[in-house]
Amino acid sequence: MSADGRVAVTHIRVRYKDTDTMQVVYYGNYLTYFEVGRVELLRQHNLPMSEVNAKLHMPVVEAFVKYVKPARLDDLLEVRCWISQKKRASFRFEYEVRNEAGELLASGFTLHACQDPLTGRMIAIPEWLQSVMSVYNSVSVT
């Protein structure tokens, strides 16, 4: 977690199963890395995903990945995640994936809605979640 608590930082070692025949990370796996980042962001705010999921479903309604450089087998990746936008009933996680040299490999976002797990209806962001959602827009992308 960053000094101000708004950016979660997680490390992931690229596994063999994440790569293609050229030992380059398969493009779809970046969305999995994003998921690890957002789950860790919630955990670092004392909201483990198992507890969140019991109270709220957060379906992804939009996803975007910009690929800059390839990650390769055995690379140690740093996944940074923060909330860049919050509306009444949706919010947006932003991500950066960097290598050990600090080079940007990929960036992107996922937009999430809030859904009541009992009724399946869309709802406003609950207060218990809003209380940990500090919007952060000043991460430098280099």
> Mind listing the pLDDT tens digit for each residue in 23-75?
999 999 999 999 999 999 999 999 999 999 999 999 999 999 999 999 999 99
Q: What does the domain layout of the chain look like in residue ranges?
A: 8-130
Assigned CATH class of 8-130: alpha beta
Q: CB-based contacts of 109: which residues, under 8 Å, 6+ apart?
A: 62, 63, 64, 84, 92, 93, 94, 95
Answer whether 0.85 is exceeded by the pTM: yes
Q: Which tokens go with 124?
A: 């406003």
Task: Give the pLDDT mean for 95-119.
Answer: 97
Cα–Cα distance list, 132 to 22, 40, 107 (Å): 41, 13, 23
Q: What's the residue count for the chain?
A: 142
Nearest to 54 by CA among 126, 140, 139: 126
CA–CA dist 109, 55 (Å, integer): 23
